[in-house]
Amino acid sequence: MNTPEAAGEPRPAGEPGPGDGALGDWPPHVLEENGALLLARLRRHFERLRETPVRVPSTPVRVRTLLDGEPPAEPEDFETVLADTFRHVVPHLVQWNHPGFHAYLPNSSSGPGILAETLAAALNPNAMLWHTSPAASALEETVLRWLAGLAGYPPDAEAVLLSGASSATFTALAAARDALPGLDIRERGLAGRADLPVLRVYTSDQAHSSVDKAAIALGAGLANVVRLPTDSSYRLRPGVLDAALRADRAGGMLPLAVVATLGTTAVGALDPVPRLAEVCARHGVWLHVDAAYGGLWRATDTPRDVLPAIDAADSVVVNPHKTLFTPMHASALYCRRRGALAGAFRLVPEILRTDDAGGPTDFMDRSLELGRGFRALKIWWLIRCFGTRGIAARMERLLGLAEELRRRVLAAPGWELTADAVLPVVCLRHLPPGVGRQETDAFNARLLDRVNAIGDVFLSHAVLRDGYTLRVAFGNLHSRAEDVDQVWWRLRGAAAGEF
Protein backbone atom coordinates (compact mmCIF):
# COMPACT_ATOMS: atom_id res chain seq x y z
CA MET A 1 0.00 0.00 0.00
CA ASN A 2 1.30 3.40 -0.91
CA THR A 3 1.15 5.12 2.51
CA PRO A 4 3.77 7.29 4.17
CA GLU A 5 4.30 4.50 6.75
CA ALA A 6 4.82 1.90 4.00
CA ALA A 7 7.38 4.22 2.44
CA GLY A 8 9.04 4.60 5.84
CA GLU A 9 8.11 8.30 6.09
CA PRO A 10 6.30 10.00 8.97
CA ARG A 11 2.64 10.75 8.25
CA PRO A 12 2.11 14.52 7.83
CA ALA A 13 0.26 16.04 10.78
CA GLY A 14 -3.50 15.95 10.27
CA GLU A 15 -3.41 13.30 7.49
CA PRO A 16 -5.97 10.52 7.96
CA GLY A 17 -4.39 7.38 9.41
CA PRO A 18 -4.89 3.77 8.30
CA GLY A 19 -8.55 2.89 8.59
CA ASP A 20 -9.67 6.55 8.53
CA GLY A 21 -10.37 6.27 4.82
CA ALA A 22 -11.92 9.42 3.43
CA LEU A 23 -14.28 9.93 6.35
CA GLY A 24 -12.48 12.84 7.95
CA ASP A 25 -12.18 16.45 6.87
CA TRP A 26 -9.70 17.66 4.31
CA PRO A 27 -6.22 17.25 5.77
CA PRO A 28 -4.69 20.61 6.75
CA HIS A 29 -2.38 20.74 3.74
CA VAL A 30 -5.38 20.26 1.42
CA LEU A 31 -7.21 23.02 3.27
CA GLU A 32 -4.20 25.24 2.63
CA GLU A 33 -4.01 24.29 -1.06
CA ASN A 34 -7.73 24.82 -1.62
CA GLY A 35 -7.63 28.02 0.39
CA ALA A 36 -4.86 29.27 -1.89
CA LEU A 37 -7.04 28.46 -4.92
CA LEU A 38 -9.89 30.46 -3.41
CA LEU A 39 -7.66 33.42 -2.54
CA ALA A 40 -6.26 33.42 -6.07
CA ARG A 41 -9.82 33.54 -7.45
CA LEU A 42 -10.66 36.34 -5.06
CA ARG A 43 -7.64 38.30 -6.15
CA ARG A 44 -8.78 38.05 -9.78
CA HIS A 45 -12.36 38.84 -8.73
CA PHE A 46 -11.36 42.05 -6.98
CA GLU A 47 -8.86 43.09 -9.63
CA ARG A 48 -11.56 42.84 -12.32
CA LEU A 49 -14.53 43.91 -10.24
CA ARG A 50 -14.74 47.39 -11.72
CA GLU A 51 -14.99 45.95 -15.22
CA THR A 52 -17.63 43.35 -14.36
CA PRO A 53 -21.34 44.17 -14.16
CA VAL A 54 -22.67 45.10 -10.76
CA ARG A 55 -25.83 43.22 -11.66
CA VAL A 56 -26.64 40.93 -14.55
CA PRO A 57 -30.28 40.88 -15.62
CA SER A 58 -31.52 37.31 -15.33
CA THR A 59 -34.71 35.42 -14.72
CA PRO A 60 -35.51 33.08 -11.83
CA VAL A 61 -35.86 30.25 -14.35
CA ARG A 62 -32.38 30.85 -15.75
CA VAL A 63 -30.69 31.06 -12.36
CA ARG A 64 -32.52 28.02 -11.03
CA THR A 65 -31.70 26.04 -14.14
CA LEU A 66 -28.04 26.77 -13.63
CA LEU A 67 -28.09 25.74 -10.00
CA ASP A 68 -30.73 23.10 -9.71
CA GLY A 69 -29.70 19.46 -9.62
CA GLU A 70 -29.36 16.45 -7.39
CA PRO A 71 -26.71 16.26 -4.65
CA PRO A 72 -23.65 14.31 -5.80
CA ALA A 73 -23.32 10.91 -4.15
CA GLU A 74 -19.57 10.88 -4.68
CA PRO A 75 -17.14 13.58 -3.57
CA GLU A 76 -16.27 16.24 -6.10
CA ASP A 77 -12.98 17.91 -6.60
CA PHE A 78 -12.82 21.34 -4.92
CA GLU A 79 -11.34 22.94 -8.02
CA THR A 80 -14.46 21.92 -9.95
CA VAL A 81 -16.76 23.17 -7.21
CA LEU A 82 -14.90 26.47 -7.11
CA ALA A 83 -14.94 26.84 -10.88
CA ASP A 84 -18.70 26.15 -10.95
CA THR A 85 -19.23 28.71 -8.21
CA PHE A 86 -17.46 31.43 -10.15
CA ARG A 87 -19.15 30.37 -13.40
CA HIS A 88 -22.74 29.90 -12.24
CA VAL A 89 -23.19 31.59 -8.87
CA VAL A 90 -21.00 34.68 -8.64
CA PRO A 91 -22.16 36.29 -11.93
CA HIS A 92 -25.78 35.97 -10.82
CA LEU A 93 -25.26 37.65 -7.50
CA VAL A 94 -25.66 41.39 -7.20
CA GLN A 95 -22.11 42.56 -6.52
CA TRP A 96 -22.59 44.43 -3.24
CA ASN A 97 -18.84 45.03 -3.09
CA HIS A 98 -18.80 46.67 -6.53
CA PRO A 99 -17.76 50.35 -6.61
CA GLY A 100 -20.86 51.06 -8.73
CA PHE A 101 -23.26 49.65 -6.14
CA HIS A 102 -25.26 52.62 -4.82
CA ALA A 103 -28.61 50.99 -4.03
CA TYR A 104 -30.42 50.76 -0.69
CA LEU A 105 -27.85 51.32 2.07
CA PRO A 106 -24.71 49.69 0.73
CA ASN A 107 -22.78 47.37 2.96
CA SER A 108 -19.37 46.56 1.60
CA SER A 109 -16.95 44.19 3.21
CA SER A 110 -13.17 44.47 3.37
CA GLY A 111 -10.00 42.39 3.44
CA PRO A 112 -9.76 42.15 7.24
CA GLY A 113 -13.43 41.24 7.49
CA ILE A 114 -13.20 38.59 4.76
CA LEU A 115 -10.23 36.88 6.39
CA ALA A 116 -11.70 37.16 9.87
CA GLU A 117 -14.83 35.33 8.68
CA THR A 118 -12.58 32.50 7.49
CA LEU A 119 -10.73 32.25 10.79
CA ALA A 120 -13.99 32.45 12.76
CA ALA A 121 -15.39 29.58 10.68
CA ALA A 122 -12.18 27.59 11.11
CA LEU A 123 -12.19 27.89 14.90
CA ASN A 124 -15.99 27.86 15.09
CA PRO A 125 -16.28 28.92 18.74
CA ASN A 126 -19.72 29.27 20.22
CA ALA A 127 -19.86 32.54 22.14
CA MET A 128 -22.99 31.70 24.10
CA LEU A 129 -21.32 31.56 27.51
CA TRP A 130 -18.05 32.91 28.83
CA HIS A 131 -17.35 29.30 29.81
CA THR A 132 -17.71 28.06 26.19
CA SER A 133 -15.32 30.61 24.66
CA PRO A 134 -13.77 33.10 27.08
CA ALA A 135 -11.73 35.03 24.51
CA ALA A 136 -14.67 35.33 22.10
CA SER A 137 -16.74 36.84 24.91
CA ALA A 138 -13.90 39.08 26.07
CA LEU A 139 -13.33 40.28 22.51
CA GLU A 140 -17.04 40.95 22.13
CA GLU A 141 -16.88 43.15 25.24
CA THR A 142 -13.89 44.98 23.79
CA VAL A 143 -15.33 45.68 20.35
CA LEU A 144 -18.67 46.69 21.86
CA ARG A 145 -16.82 49.23 23.99
CA TRP A 146 -14.85 50.48 20.97
CA LEU A 147 -18.00 50.85 18.87
CA ALA A 148 -19.78 52.63 21.73
CA GLY A 149 -16.87 55.07 21.77
CA LEU A 150 -17.23 55.70 18.03
CA ALA A 151 -21.01 56.16 18.31
CA GLY A 152 -20.96 58.27 21.48
CA TYR A 153 -22.90 55.90 23.74
CA PRO A 154 -21.90 55.06 27.34
CA PRO A 155 -19.18 52.39 27.10
CA ASP A 156 -20.45 50.56 30.18
CA ALA A 157 -23.93 49.95 28.72
CA GLU A 158 -25.25 46.40 28.61
CA ALA A 159 -24.52 45.35 25.03
CA VAL A 160 -24.48 42.46 22.60
CA LEU A 161 -23.56 41.75 18.98
CA LEU A 162 -26.48 40.50 16.91
CA SER A 163 -27.09 39.46 13.32
CA GLY A 164 -28.76 42.70 12.28
CA ALA A 165 -30.63 45.81 13.30
CA SER A 166 -34.00 44.11 12.90
CA SER A 167 -33.06 41.56 15.49
CA ALA A 168 -31.58 44.31 17.69
CA THR A 169 -34.72 46.46 17.59
CA PHE A 170 -36.84 43.44 18.45
CA THR A 171 -34.51 42.68 21.36
CA ALA A 172 -34.58 46.28 22.62
CA LEU A 173 -38.37 46.47 22.46
CA ALA A 174 -38.64 43.12 24.25
CA ALA A 175 -36.54 44.63 27.05
CA ALA A 176 -38.77 47.73 27.01
CA ARG A 177 -41.86 45.53 27.29
CA ASP A 178 -40.33 43.60 30.14
CA ALA A 179 -39.52 46.87 31.91
CA LEU A 180 -43.18 47.97 31.97
CA PRO A 181 -44.11 47.85 35.64
CA GLY A 182 -46.76 45.45 36.93
CA LEU A 183 -47.52 43.58 33.67
CA ASP A 184 -45.25 40.56 34.11
CA ILE A 185 -45.66 39.61 30.44
CA ARG A 186 -42.50 37.52 30.51
CA GLU A 187 -44.08 35.16 33.02
CA ARG A 188 -47.78 35.36 32.27
CA GLY A 189 -47.81 36.13 28.52
CA LEU A 190 -50.42 38.23 26.71
CA ALA A 191 -53.20 35.84 25.81
CA GLY A 192 -56.47 35.85 27.73
CA ARG A 193 -55.58 38.77 29.96
CA ALA A 194 -58.28 41.35 30.54
CA ASP A 195 -55.92 43.38 32.74
CA LEU A 196 -53.57 44.33 29.89
CA PRO A 197 -53.91 47.75 28.26
CA VAL A 198 -53.25 48.26 24.57
CA LEU A 199 -49.47 48.59 24.08
CA ARG A 200 -48.34 51.26 21.62
CA VAL A 201 -45.04 51.89 19.80
CA TYR A 202 -44.35 55.38 18.43
CA THR A 203 -42.09 56.10 15.53
CA SER A 204 -41.90 58.26 12.42
CA ASP A 205 -43.48 57.74 9.03
CA GLN A 206 -39.90 57.14 7.79
CA ALA A 207 -38.93 54.43 10.29
CA HIS A 208 -37.72 51.06 9.10
CA SER A 209 -40.14 48.15 8.80
CA SER A 210 -38.18 46.32 11.51
CA VAL A 211 -40.15 48.41 14.03
CA ASP A 212 -43.38 46.95 12.65
CA LYS A 213 -41.93 43.46 12.73
CA ALA A 214 -40.90 43.88 16.35
CA ALA A 215 -44.45 45.01 17.22
CA ILE A 216 -45.83 41.92 15.46
CA ALA A 217 -43.47 39.56 17.26
CA LEU A 218 -44.01 41.17 20.67
CA GLY A 219 -47.78 41.01 20.50
CA ALA A 220 -48.36 44.77 20.32
CA GLY A 221 -49.75 44.37 16.81
CA LEU A 222 -49.23 46.37 13.64
CA ALA A 223 -52.26 48.55 14.37
CA ASN A 224 -50.48 49.83 17.46
CA VAL A 225 -47.42 51.12 15.67
CA VAL A 226 -48.10 54.84 15.61
CA ARG A 227 -46.26 56.32 12.64
CA LEU A 228 -46.09 60.03 13.24
CA PRO A 229 -45.80 62.59 10.42
CA THR A 230 -42.34 64.08 9.99
CA ASP A 231 -41.11 67.60 9.31
CA SER A 232 -39.85 68.95 6.00
CA SER A 233 -36.53 67.14 6.54
CA TYR A 234 -38.29 63.86 7.32
CA ARG A 235 -37.51 64.07 11.05
CA LEU A 236 -39.74 63.01 13.91
CA ARG A 237 -41.16 66.10 15.63
CA PRO A 238 -40.91 66.18 19.44
CA GLY A 239 -44.14 68.20 19.78
CA VAL A 240 -46.07 65.72 17.64
CA LEU A 241 -44.70 62.85 19.71
CA ASP A 242 -45.61 64.60 22.94
CA ALA A 243 -49.19 65.16 21.76
CA ALA A 244 -49.57 61.54 20.64
CA LEU A 245 -48.31 60.22 23.97
CA ARG A 246 -50.66 62.51 25.88
CA ALA A 247 -53.67 61.54 23.79
CA ASP A 248 -53.01 57.82 24.08
CA ARG A 249 -52.43 57.98 27.82
CA ALA A 250 -55.71 59.86 28.17
CA GLY A 251 -57.35 57.09 26.13
CA GLY A 252 -56.04 54.38 28.47
CA MET A 253 -53.31 53.05 26.19
CA LEU A 254 -49.85 52.18 27.41
CA PRO A 255 -46.79 53.41 25.50
CA LEU A 256 -44.34 50.53 25.16
CA ALA A 257 -41.56 52.50 23.50
CA VAL A 258 -40.63 55.30 21.14
CA VAL A 259 -38.29 54.40 18.27
CA ALA A 260 -36.28 57.28 16.82
CA THR A 261 -34.08 56.86 13.77
CA LEU A 262 -30.62 58.23 13.13
CA GLY A 263 -30.21 57.80 9.41
CA THR A 264 -33.55 56.77 7.93
CA THR A 265 -33.50 54.18 5.18
CA ALA A 266 -34.92 56.35 2.41
CA VAL A 267 -33.09 59.66 2.87
CA GLY A 268 -30.77 59.30 5.88
CA ALA A 269 -32.82 61.71 8.03
CA LEU A 270 -31.67 62.35 11.58
CA ASP A 271 -34.36 62.45 14.27
CA PRO A 272 -33.59 64.99 17.03
CA VAL A 273 -32.74 62.37 19.64
CA PRO A 274 -31.92 64.66 22.63
CA ARG A 275 -35.24 66.50 22.34
CA LEU A 276 -37.14 63.24 21.83
CA ALA A 277 -35.36 61.87 24.90
CA GLU A 278 -36.69 64.79 26.93
CA VAL A 279 -40.24 64.01 25.81
CA CYS A 280 -39.77 60.33 26.61
CA ALA A 281 -38.34 61.13 30.04
CA ARG A 282 -41.37 63.35 30.81
CA HIS A 283 -43.72 60.52 29.89
CA GLY A 284 -41.60 57.75 31.42
CA VAL A 285 -41.33 55.96 28.07
CA TRP A 286 -38.42 53.88 26.79
CA LEU A 287 -36.54 55.50 23.89
CA HIS A 288 -34.87 53.17 21.43
CA VAL A 289 -32.73 54.68 18.67
CA ASP A 290 -32.36 52.85 15.39
CA ALA A 291 -28.94 54.24 14.50
CA ALA A 292 -28.22 51.24 12.28
CA TYR A 293 -27.16 53.49 9.43
CA GLY A 294 -26.44 56.83 11.08
CA GLY A 295 -24.80 55.94 14.39
CA LEU A 296 -21.24 55.34 13.34
CA TRP A 297 -20.79 58.45 11.18
CA ARG A 298 -19.89 60.18 14.43
CA ALA A 299 -16.48 58.58 13.89
CA THR A 300 -15.85 61.19 11.18
CA ASP A 301 -15.25 64.91 11.60
CA THR A 302 -17.72 66.19 9.06
CA PRO A 303 -21.13 65.31 10.48
CA ARG A 304 -20.10 65.06 14.13
CA ASP A 305 -21.44 68.50 14.88
CA VAL A 306 -24.74 67.93 13.15
CA LEU A 307 -25.36 64.36 14.26
CA PRO A 308 -27.70 64.40 17.23
CA ALA A 309 -26.17 62.80 20.33
CA ILE A 310 -27.65 59.41 21.21
CA ASP A 311 -26.36 58.96 24.74
CA ALA A 312 -29.70 59.81 26.37
CA ALA A 313 -31.51 56.92 24.66
CA ASP A 314 -32.41 53.85 26.69
CA SER A 315 -31.21 51.59 23.90
CA VAL A 316 -29.44 52.04 20.60
CA VAL A 317 -28.48 49.88 17.66
CA VAL A 318 -25.56 50.62 15.31
CA ASN A 319 -24.59 48.44 12.35
CA PRO A 320 -20.92 47.91 11.55
CA HIS A 321 -22.17 45.87 8.59
CA LYS A 322 -23.73 48.99 7.09
CA THR A 323 -21.11 51.66 7.56
CA LEU A 324 -17.94 50.05 8.88
CA PHE A 325 -16.95 47.83 5.93
CA THR A 326 -17.69 44.70 7.93
CA PRO A 327 -19.21 41.62 6.28
CA MET A 328 -22.90 40.94 6.95
CA HIS A 329 -24.22 40.01 10.36
CA ALA A 330 -22.56 42.58 12.55
CA SER A 331 -24.94 44.73 14.53
CA ALA A 332 -24.36 46.13 18.01
CA LEU A 333 -27.18 46.68 20.49
CA TYR A 334 -26.64 48.84 23.57
CA CYS A 335 -28.86 49.39 26.58
CA ARG A 336 -27.96 51.93 29.23
CA ARG A 337 -30.49 50.39 31.64
CA ARG A 338 -28.08 47.71 32.77
CA GLY A 339 -29.76 44.37 33.41
CA ALA A 340 -32.75 45.12 31.20
CA LEU A 341 -31.66 42.85 28.33
CA ALA A 342 -30.86 40.01 30.71
CA GLY A 343 -34.11 40.70 32.57
CA ALA A 344 -35.98 39.92 29.38
CA PHE A 345 -33.88 37.08 28.01
CA ARG A 346 -31.87 35.31 30.70
CA LEU A 347 -32.98 31.70 30.98
CA VAL A 348 -30.36 29.09 31.80
CA PRO A 349 -31.10 25.43 31.19
CA GLU A 350 -29.35 23.00 33.53
CA ILE A 351 -26.96 21.81 30.84
CA LEU A 352 -25.53 25.33 30.51
CA ARG A 353 -25.14 26.10 34.21
CA THR A 354 -21.60 27.04 35.17
CA ASP A 355 -19.76 28.19 38.24
CA ASP A 356 -19.19 31.54 36.50
CA ALA A 357 -22.67 32.80 37.46
CA GLY A 358 -22.59 36.48 38.37
CA GLY A 359 -19.07 36.76 36.98
CA PRO A 360 -18.10 37.26 33.36
CA THR A 361 -20.56 38.04 30.58
CA ASP A 362 -22.71 35.27 29.15
CA PHE A 363 -23.90 36.85 25.91
CA MET A 364 -26.67 34.28 25.42
CA ASP A 365 -28.46 36.09 28.29
CA ARG A 366 -28.94 39.26 26.24
CA SER A 367 -31.08 38.16 23.29
CA LEU A 368 -33.03 35.25 21.77
CA GLU A 369 -29.82 33.78 20.38
CA LEU A 370 -28.31 30.82 22.17
CA GLY A 371 -25.62 29.50 19.84
CA ARG A 372 -23.65 32.52 18.68
CA GLY A 373 -20.77 32.76 16.22
CA PHE A 374 -17.57 34.76 16.64
CA ARG A 375 -18.87 38.09 15.26
CA ALA A 376 -16.46 40.13 17.33
CA LEU A 377 -13.40 38.91 15.45
CA LYS A 378 -14.19 40.62 12.14
CA ILE A 379 -14.89 43.94 13.85
CA TRP A 380 -11.73 43.65 15.94
CA TRP A 381 -9.58 42.87 12.88
CA LEU A 382 -11.20 45.64 10.88
CA ILE A 383 -10.64 48.30 13.53
CA ARG A 384 -7.09 47.11 14.19
CA CYS A 385 -6.12 46.82 10.52
CA PHE A 386 -7.61 50.16 9.41
CA GLY A 387 -7.36 52.08 12.72
CA THR A 388 -10.07 54.48 13.84
CA ARG A 389 -8.40 57.29 11.87
CA GLY A 390 -8.27 55.12 8.76
CA ILE A 391 -11.92 54.19 9.14
CA ALA A 392 -12.88 57.82 9.60
CA ALA A 393 -10.88 58.82 6.50
CA ARG A 394 -12.64 56.16 4.42
CA MET A 395 -16.03 57.33 5.65
CA GLU A 396 -15.07 60.96 4.97
CA ARG A 397 -14.30 60.00 1.40
CA LEU A 398 -17.80 58.59 0.99
CA LEU A 399 -19.30 61.78 2.41
CA GLY A 400 -17.21 63.74 -0.09
CA LEU A 401 -18.41 61.64 -3.04
CA ALA A 402 -22.05 62.26 -2.06
CA GLU A 403 -21.34 65.97 -1.67
CA GLU A 404 -19.81 66.10 -5.13
CA LEU A 405 -22.87 64.44 -6.68
CA ARG A 406 -25.15 66.87 -4.82
CA ARG A 407 -23.15 69.79 -6.20
CA ARG A 408 -23.59 68.50 -9.73
CA VAL A 409 -27.32 67.93 -9.32
CA LEU A 410 -27.80 71.43 -7.92
CA ALA A 411 -25.92 72.94 -10.83
CA ALA A 412 -27.77 70.96 -13.53
CA PRO A 413 -30.92 72.43 -15.05
CA GLY A 414 -33.83 69.97 -15.00
CA TRP A 415 -32.55 68.11 -11.96
CA GLU A 416 -33.34 68.50 -8.29
CA LEU A 417 -32.42 67.09 -4.93
CA THR A 418 -35.51 65.66 -3.24
CA ALA A 419 -34.21 65.63 0.33
CA ASP A 420 -31.51 67.50 2.19
CA ALA A 421 -29.16 65.12 3.92
CA VAL A 422 -25.90 64.98 5.77
CA LEU A 423 -25.22 61.30 5.29
CA PRO A 424 -24.08 60.01 1.91
CA VAL A 425 -27.48 59.17 0.43
CA VAL A 426 -28.30 61.46 -2.47
CA CYS A 427 -32.00 61.65 -3.34
CA LEU A 428 -32.62 63.22 -6.71
CA ARG A 429 -34.85 63.21 -9.73
CA HIS A 430 -35.10 64.54 -13.21
CA LEU A 431 -37.86 67.02 -14.01
CA PRO A 432 -38.69 66.59 -17.66
CA PRO A 433 -39.97 69.94 -18.93
CA GLY A 434 -43.70 70.49 -19.14
CA VAL A 435 -44.93 67.29 -17.48
CA GLY A 436 -46.98 66.81 -14.31
CA ARG A 437 -46.25 64.96 -11.11
CA GLN A 438 -47.46 61.54 -12.21
CA GLU A 439 -45.54 61.63 -15.46
CA THR A 440 -42.44 62.81 -13.59
CA ASP A 441 -42.72 59.81 -11.28
CA ALA A 442 -43.16 57.42 -14.18
CA PHE A 443 -40.28 59.03 -16.10
CA ASN A 444 -37.90 58.61 -13.16
CA ALA A 445 -39.00 55.01 -12.60
CA ARG A 446 -38.19 54.26 -16.26
CA LEU A 447 -34.91 56.13 -15.90
CA LEU A 448 -33.95 53.88 -12.98
CA ASP A 449 -34.72 50.76 -15.01
CA ARG A 450 -32.69 52.03 -17.94
CA VAL A 451 -29.67 52.90 -15.82
CA ASN A 452 -29.77 49.61 -13.91
CA ALA A 453 -30.11 47.61 -17.13
CA ILE A 454 -26.70 48.83 -18.31
CA GLY A 455 -25.01 47.08 -15.42
CA ASP A 456 -22.12 49.35 -14.45
CA VAL A 457 -24.01 51.10 -11.64
CA PHE A 458 -26.90 49.92 -9.52
CA LEU A 459 -29.33 52.37 -7.94
CA SER A 460 -32.61 52.10 -6.07
CA HIS A 461 -35.60 54.33 -5.39
CA ALA A 462 -37.93 55.55 -2.66
CA VAL A 463 -41.29 57.23 -2.63
CA LEU A 464 -41.22 60.41 -0.60
CA ARG A 465 -43.87 62.94 0.32
CA ASP A 466 -43.83 64.56 -3.09
CA GLY A 467 -43.27 61.53 -5.20
CA TYR A 468 -40.87 59.06 -6.65
CA THR A 469 -37.20 59.67 -6.04
CA LEU A 470 -33.98 58.10 -7.22
CA ARG A 471 -31.40 57.28 -4.58
CA VAL A 472 -27.63 57.15 -4.99
CA ALA A 473 -26.01 55.93 -1.78
CA PHE A 474 -22.25 55.93 -1.29
CA GLY A 475 -21.09 53.26 1.14
CA ASN A 476 -18.71 51.19 -0.79
CA LEU A 477 -15.10 50.90 0.26
CA HIS A 478 -14.05 50.73 -3.40
CA SER A 479 -15.98 53.79 -4.65
CA ARG A 480 -13.87 56.71 -5.89
CA ALA A 481 -14.31 60.05 -7.66
CA GLU A 482 -14.66 58.31 -11.01
CA ASP A 483 -17.74 56.54 -9.68
CA VAL A 484 -19.46 59.89 -9.21
CA ASP A 485 -18.64 60.67 -12.84
CA GLN A 486 -19.97 57.30 -13.92
CA VAL A 487 -23.29 57.47 -12.09
CA TRP A 488 -23.93 61.08 -13.08
CA TRP A 489 -23.06 60.33 -16.70
CA ARG A 490 -25.47 57.37 -16.71
CA LEU A 491 -28.29 59.35 -15.11
CA ARG A 492 -27.95 62.29 -17.47
CA GLY A 493 -27.53 60.03 -20.49
CA ALA A 494 -30.63 58.01 -19.60
CA ALA A 495 -32.63 61.21 -19.03
CA ALA A 496 -31.53 62.46 -22.45
CA GLY A 497 -32.62 59.18 -24.05
CA GLU A 498 -29.06 58.14 -24.91
CA PHE A 499 -29.32 54.68 -23.33
How far apart are the C-alpha atoms of 166 and 210, rounded to whole Å? 5
Cβ contact 447:414 at 8 Å: no
How far apart are the C-alpha atoms of 452 and 20, rounded to whole Å? 53
**Alpha carbon 90 to chain centroid, angstroms:** 21
Stretch that binds ligand PLP, among 53-61, 150-158, 263-271, 384-392 (CB under 6 A): 263-271
Quick one: 180 or 226, whose CB is closer to ligand PLP? Answer: 226
Single residue of 133, 265, 361, 418 touching ligand PLP by CB under 6 A: 265
- Tell me the closest approach of the beta carbon of residue 370 to ligand PLP, in angstroms: 19
Cβ contact 243:217 at 8 Å: no
Determine, following the binding rule CB under 6 A, whether residue 204 of this chain makes contact with ligand PLP. Answer: no
Task: Give the E-state strand segments of 99-178 in sequence order.
Answer: 158-162
Determine, following the binding rule CB under 6 A, whether residue 261 of this chain makes contact with ligand PLP. Answer: yes
- Tell me the closest approach of the beta carbon of residue 116 to ligand PLP, in angstroms: 18
- Tell me the closest approach of the beta carbon of residue 322 to ligand PLP, in angstroms: 7
Determine, following the binding rule CB under 6 A, whether residue 105 of this chain makes contact with ligand PLP. Answer: yes
Three-state SS annotation for 7-27: CCCCCCCCCCCCCCCCCCCCC
Quick one: 112 or 294, whose CB is closer to ligand PLP? Answer: 294
**Of 208, 309, 324, the residue nearest 266 (C-alpha):** 208
Determine, following the binding rule CB under 6 A, whether residue 427 of this chain makes contact with ligand PLP. Answer: no
Residues 270-289 that bind ligand PLP (CB under 6 A): none
DSSP 297: G
- Tell me the closest approach of the beta carbon of residue 295 to ligand PLP, in angstroms: 10
Distances (CA, A) of 243 to 89, 236, 247, 250, 421: 52, 12, 6, 11, 27
Residues 133-172 that bind ligand PLP (CB under 6 A): 164-166
CB-based contacts of 100, cutoff 8 Å, min separation 6 = 50, 54, 456, 457, 458, 479, 483, 486, 487
Single residue of 178, 290, 314, 456 touching ligand PLP by CB under 6 A: 290
Stretch that binds ligand PLP, among 258-266, 306-314, 447-455, 486-494 (CB under 6 A): 258-266
Single residue of 319, 361, 418, 469 touching ligand PLP by CB under 6 A: 319
Quick one: 208 or 406, whose CB is closer to ligand PLP? Answer: 208
Cβ contact 392:301 at 8 Å: yes
Determine, following the binding rule CB under 6 A, whether residue 323 of this chain makes contact with ligand PLP. Answer: no
Stretch that binds ligand PLP, among 91-99, 259-267, 392-400, 485-493 (CB under 6 A): 259-267
Quick one: 216 or 481, whose CB is closer to ligand PLP? Answer: 216
CB-based contacts of 28, cutoff 8 Å, min separation 6 = 13, 14
The DSSP string of 71-82 is: PPSS---HHHHH
Q: Which residues bind ligand PLP (CB under 6 A)?
A: 105, 164-166, 208, 210, 261, 263-265, 290, 292-293, 319, 331
